[in-house]
Amino acid sequence: MDTAHLETRRFLIVTGKGGVGKTTVCAAEARQLEAKGKQVLVTMCNAKERLSEMLGCDVIGSDVRRVSHGIWAVNMDPEKALEEYGQMMLKSKVLYGLLFDNKYVRSFFAAVPGMHEWSMLGKAWWHTTEKNPDGTLKYDVVILDAPATGHGLDMLRVPKVILDVVPPGLLRRDAQRAWTLFQDPKACAIVLVTLPEEMPTSETIELARALRELKLPIAKLVVNCLLPPLFSPEERATLEKAPASRAPKNGGESAIGSARDRSIRERIQAESLKRLSEALPVSPSFLPMLFCDAATKDAILELSKRVT
């Protein structure tokens, strides 16, 4: 796993368990790449939109829009993405209308396994090929804020499913091109996001195993919400023998109970980091626990300095 030079990849796929901070990482990565002079597109999959808060811009909809000097963003709607994809394939809005408005054709696409997922994944991939009028690439890097673990893995499998079941044609051709890019470690990078907790750690290890089976290049691990350790292992062992936090009769009981709770979190964090290091041979990036709202422009700018 090579974590270096993510800015040289054409496509970054950010995935992980729900609630671990994938969108936060997408925003921080985009800001870091922008600071390096890159033109970046962040694509979301019909998501509950929070990226605009993080980037300090207006609400991001289903049309690609520029949100800062070097960042564009879109929240992809599967129906609209399928329409756009059809127009891109046929190079004609009129021809698309004649063909895709046909109920039999629509029935065919509805029957293709994962077609809605492909409409969004394929659109995100297509933007890696999009060019300016002068022939240069429009975006240096496209970031996909993928769905949570299970759904995200199903989405990433779709091009392979299309190659297995769809007859030769435009759809299969594009699925092959996308699948080739996804498996190219020089062009694509999977960024796994997790929390230093037991369940997210287990799910991340399972996800990494499935991605390796698909031969998709895991290039980065981001551990979000890391607590700075306050206690040594010996101090943690002593504190965990103390009574649990409860309504205090005095300040001493409250302090000891709080310290015990903190020591337990630190132990779980240390155990999680050990499991990740054993299962994923890559030095992770750590994002600190912010004791304030992380969904702000200032917070993302600070975190963008830590996702190296």
Poorest-pLDDT segment among 50-54, 89-93, 198-202: 89-93
Residue 85 above 60 pLDDT?
yes
The residues, any chain, with a CB within 8 Å of residue 300's CB and separated by 6 or more, are 24, 27, 28, 31, 54, 55, 294
State the average pLDDT over residues 58-68.
95
What does the pLDDT read at residue 248? 54
Query: 106: pLDDT confidence band, cut at 50, 70 and 90?
Result: low
pLDDT tens column, 142-185: 999 999 988 899 999 999 988 888 888 878 898 999 999 999 99
Poorest-pLDDT segment among 28-37, 51-60, 158-167: 158-167
pLDDT tens column, 238-276: 888 876 655 555 555 577 888 888 899 999 999 999 999
| CATH 3.40.50.300 corresponds to the domain 6-230+282-304 | yes
Across 154-184, b (16+ Cβ under 10 Å) vs e yields ebbbbbbbbeeebeeeebbebbebbbebbee
Percentage of the chain surpassing pLDDT 70? 85
What does the pLDDT read at residue 3? 44
Angle formed by the axes of helices 93-100 and 103-111, to 10°?
80
The residues, any chain, with a CB within 8 Å of residue 55's CB and separated by 6 or more, are 27, 30, 31, 67, 68, 71, 73, 297, 300
What does the pLDDT read at residue 143? 98
- Report the candidate in 121, 42, 45, 119 with the shortest Cα–Cα distance to residue 83: 119
